[in-house]
Amino acid sequence: MAPPRRLGRTTTWFLFFSLAALLAATDAATASPKSDTLHRASRQRELPVFHEAPAFRNGRECPRIREETNAAPSDDPALIHITMTLDATYLRGSVAGILSVLRHASCPENLFFHLLASHRADDLRRTLVATFPYLSFRLYKFDPRSVRDKISLSVRRALDQPLNYARIYLADLLPPSVPRVVYLDSDLVVVDDIAKLWAIDLDNQVLAAPEYCHANFTKYFTDAFWADPELTKTFKDRSNKACYFNTGVMVIDLSKWREGGYTQRLESWMEVQKGKRIYELGSLPPFLLVFAGKVRAVEHRWNQHGLGGDNLKGLCRDLHPGPVSLLHWSGKGKPWLRLDSGRPCPLDSLWAPYDLVRVWPFLAD
């Protein structure tokens, strides 16, 4: 049974807004030949070449997998499902991320990767197979057209890439036999056994992530949002205080997500944003609007985020206090670019051991 919609009486109002936004979006889409040129250029760009990763084998205590999993991702309870995006720009980060997960997993053969790509899926698949010949994975095509019209420009161009929004559509893209998934961004490394994060008790919630209740929640939305009681009442029905969380690391119950229509809930906030600027960032604020205060809190060690610096300058940042299971270079600076430039941040040296790159063609840009 589907839980009651959180948007309640405002639904009609949203539909009205959606229609207006849709009409406006059609206009915008036909008037941007520039972004098409950019896409063609990135399609032609050569992909980096990587060293082959070693085979990672299960320990004796690992639960046995029932069947050949590469054929079809199954509901085998021994499998740990992980999902990430793949694209030319972040490929070096994705490869480092996958290697880090494998290297620290107690049962690496039980990992199954669901990888989402919107362009050059065949090239990316070849690269993946050459780099990780033993990896169990399936590559999914994410159609950027499904979201392009819904995206509003944010403070940073990289945040506006359609693939950045693919995490909203996991429940539609992944097969229904996958009950739960760990979503990971492409600018992070895991330095602990991912099975610990995977096995977390979701406590009846749809989504688990580290929460940051000391962060100033107000600043993630505009004054126009806070001034509108129709909009702000979305935070009134929360079981807990609405806190910031980072969407780069999430454990998601896909069955509950589907039942609750969470993709549509997120989309309806993106439609609101089209009509009235209620936030400045990309795919994060809709998640906060729908889930903040309803998130199953995870230990902070599982997302030591912000290592890329802020969104505008990308200054060096330090770790948050406490233990570390996952390092996340969210923000503008990426460790592979800073390392290549010869001016890395101190913590970028923690990313370097996972860098498998052999040929990096992007320096010629």
Ligand X SMILES: *[C@@H]1O[C@H](CO)[C@@H](O)[C@H](O)[C@H]1NC(C)=O
CA dihedral 179, 84, 306, 326 (to 10 degrees): 70
Span near ligand X by CB under 6 A; candidates 107-115, 213-221, 267-275, 295-303:
213-221
Of 42, 106, 218, 232, the residue at the interface with ligand X (CB under 6 A) is 218
Binding mask 159-198 for ligand X (x = CB under 6 A): ----------------------------------------
Span near ligand X by CB under 6 A; candidates 199-207, 212-220, 261-269, 303-311:
212-220
Least distance CB 3 / ligand X (angstroms): 31
Least distance CB 277 / ligand X (angstroms): 15
Residue 216 binds to ligand X (criterion: CB under 6 A): yes
Give the Cα separation of 283 and 272 in Å (integer): 13
Task: Identify whether the C-beta of residue 73 lies closer than 8 Å to the C-beta of residue 175.
Answer: yes
Least distance CB 225 / ligand X (angstroms): 11
Least distance CB 288 / ligand X (angstroms): 14
Count residues contacting ligand X (CB under 6 A)?
Answer: 3
Counted residue by residue, the chain has a size of: 365
The smaller minimum CB distance to ligand X, of residues 154 and 164, is found at 154
Residue 219 binds to ligand X (criterion: CB under 6 A): yes
Residue 214 binds to ligand X (criterion: CB under 6 A): no
Least distance CB 216 / ligand X (angstroms): 4
The smaller minimum CB distance to ligand X, of residues 139 and 155, is found at 155
Half-sphere exposure (Cβ direction) of 27: Cα atoms closer than 13 Å: 7
Binding site residues, ligand X, CB under 6 A: 216, 218-219
